[in-house]
Structure 1
Amino acid sequence: MGEIRDRGGYLAFKTRQRAITWLRSIDLGVAAVSLLVAAKVASTELPAVPPDTALHFDAATAALFLGLFVATASVFPLFALYTETALFLWRQALKASVKAVTAVVLILVVVAAVLNPPLVTPAFLATYWVMACVGGIAARFVTRRLLFLTEAQGIAARRTLIVGTGARAQEIALRMLENPGHGHRFMGFVGLEWEAPVPTPLPERFRLVSGVSDFAAYLREHVVDEVLICLPLTDLCDRATNLVSECEEQGVSVTVVTRLFELANPRHRPGSHGGELVVTITNTLADERELILKRFLDVTVSLAMLVLLSPLLLAVWALVRLTSPGPALFVQERVGLNKRLFKFYKFRTMVQNAEALQAGLECQNEMCGATFKIKNDPRITPIGRLLRKTSIDELPQLFNVLRGEMSLVGPRPLPVRDVIRIEKDWPRRRFGVKPGITCLWQICGRNTIPFERMMELDIEYVDTWSVALDLRILLRTVPVVCSMRGAY
């Protein structure tokens, strides 16, 4: 195996990049093995297939298998599975592996719906998912252990200098010293004096190896793989350009610590703006890979539900039209992502002029805060009360999800009237994500929850969002809807 070597009795990778290249090859190999095992399992459910063609390798199946390899090679990088971070943050790599395989399987389901190959059965999909997850996780575990053995011997550890001696710089240095397996060999600090008190007893390698003025000379005379610039904002402005230029001249990579602001829940990502390198700081959903998966789930699930529930939708549409005058659909402007207005759809459950009548009922509002709710609202029609109790009136919002104005899961979209009445600023963070059909407070009591608690749960969703959380909320929504608790 050209990607690994034996040194000091240990089988080990020469460099991190070779480990990553090795992982790319292993992932395709795992996909192939998982595919064959899943196909063999699925073939047992096809008694009509002759024994000599047990895998039933027809043109549709061949196209599907080729698509699966392409999907694996394309999707896995989107989940950062081929980065140095994934090699060292084991839990993050484990979660990303499961998410990536799940995304590939979802793509497989969509392609299978078009090609309709006989082998793609539930048993095939389940077997492939389990095999690919286990194989991908095992490959990363073994690669990680081999790489750790290498770097523990000092073969591939990156010799790292930190420019700056403040508290943040010392914190990063201590983390390097405490986690040698993460691949950094800390060499010391660049600075004339300590800008913050040093720990006692003084840790190993906590030493000033160079000043800023003789930094270029130090780089010329020593082996340095990476320089980490961690200076106060004022010093960064004055010195960073010269420091980076000196590193560039010596061919040494530079990393600049960008935690310039102390924020409660900062999420950041690198990028470019007008040709300039920038770091974007946000308090909303910043993981583009998971956002892609979230949108994929929104489109596939909403489209499937619209097709499956089309008879029910037509029946309800006719029932609303026959039982009360007016259109079957209620259309209202609601406030969506970044406070953009969009047309919100639901089945009409009130009399035709309900919005005009609301002003006269404001004094009967039973909700604290900005929202308006009356348990026995006189504007609700008899059929509308049933639709609300069963939540069937919300089904037309699947069209909003398909159009990209809403998501399956997210803070409920508020009417303009309610948004205007929000007095505090902190609930407005909910507008940083797409609104949804269901949300955290929908599964925690629905309309029985006070308005401020609703907003707190919306902000909790924004701060802790993940695709896994969306799936949990969707699964918990089903029994809540069936129980009809808190719906009116």
Structure 2
Amino acid sequence: MWLFGETLPQLPAARQPWNRVVDAQPPAGRGTGKPLWYAPAAVLGDAVGALVPAYLAFAATDTAKAVTLAVVAAVAWLLVRAARDRYAEGRLGEGAVLRPALHDWLVMVGMLAVVRAATGEDSPFLLALTALMPSAPASVVAHTLIRRHLIARRRDGRAVHRALVIGAADAVDDLVGHLARRTEHEFVVVGVCPVGEQDPQSLAPVAARLDRCEPPRVTADSAAVLEAARRLGVDAVLVVPGPHLSGTRLRRLSWALHGAGRRLVVVPGLTEVSRRRVGVFSVAGLTMLNVTPPLRRGLAAVVKSVTDRLGAALLIVLLAPVFAAVALVVRLDSPGPVVHRQTRVGRGGVPFTMMKFRTMVADAERLRRQLAGTNERDGRMFKIRRDPRITRAGRLLRRCSLDELPQLFNVVRGDMSLVGPRPPLPDEVARYNEVELRRLAVKPGLTGLWQVSGRSNLSWDETIALDLGYVDNWSPSVDFTVLLRTVRAVIAGTGAY
């Protein structure tokens, strides 16, 4: 999920346990790094995105120094981006794109405001602000294209780092399986090094083995690991800490790896926690991770609530002709009410009446019990690809997601949000386990990660993973990204049935 680079839960690219293939030894001349043109392309995109709009804005007002001011704006933008390491090889194409661009843009505006005050620049401030506004969106586009290209290369097994995994057998299996189910990241495991005699079940070969007890010689661990790393052409060593990998043992291993020019990555075991929620600090010489709680209260939550209601009210006004046209089509297509009202479960398990344009025959609920044995979905949801209850007009409305429009009134009333998990039925919730109940920690949404990631084509486990990722890592920028991707999902109509 990376349209604008926001860190969102990712779906498995394939259901095989191993979906990227690399050679046992890297071929001569084949590097594992990113293409060299990434940095120049990012710099060029940022420069053009700042220079051209600034020049056009100043030239349109016959400003005499249009070229000079545009160049200053572009140079300032590049300096801010470079100072914050946006062009570093290790960061290009990685992680979020939208949030860093907005942060850098605010820094640039503040810096140029200081320069204006110091130099006595007398051009209108609003004109200068307008000239600078396209910088961030242009940067987002440029860096998003780079990210897309990088992910495409990684799916082919290129631009990846060969990794050796160290840890207890079960921990090694968990990490190798998790990495193998995804292809957007930089690591491909080419070997494992279990601690103890138990053999991992992963497909990666056992390259070395460490004793459960800390060895008497400092170099015992490092000799085995370094030999395996050399033999497999490993760039990085991933370590899963455990009871048999003490801090002292891990520290000594880091000395050897760093001395040999190998990268050491410690995997703490946290999953689906966005980077912004994790901080590193030290206490009494111990390195600790601080995980901040999900956003539930405060200014961000207030802004979400106000934005939801105002945005929904505005959309109702703007889409009034569409409401009328759809209502007429539903009325003429089949007998029954235009708007279908159904009990759904909202935040905290509180039921509410959800509205949508009717897309099924009037007695659809009764027929559902007769069709229970034909459910094509695993898990709690009931879905049939060719559901006989859907009307002719209903298929078109579902394809275009127009049947969801009346839910804007639910958003205005506060039952739903513009973005959130799919609103579940009471009988679905009755079968939820403790993990699945966490979906109800936030308001259900008119759109969400489920809707923009394949909808009914997703398995139940994939649906839960997406929803829990949203619940735990929600932020205003995540909502903004989902709303933008909703447009593409509606046009494509993937999984809509």
Q: Which category describes the TM-score, using the shorter chain as reference length?
A: 0.3 to 0.5
- Report 1 or 2 for greater relative contact order, CA contacts < 8 Å, sequence distance ≥ 6: 2
Choose 1 or 2 for highest CA Rg: 1
TM norm structure 1: 0.45
Structure holding more helix per residue? 1
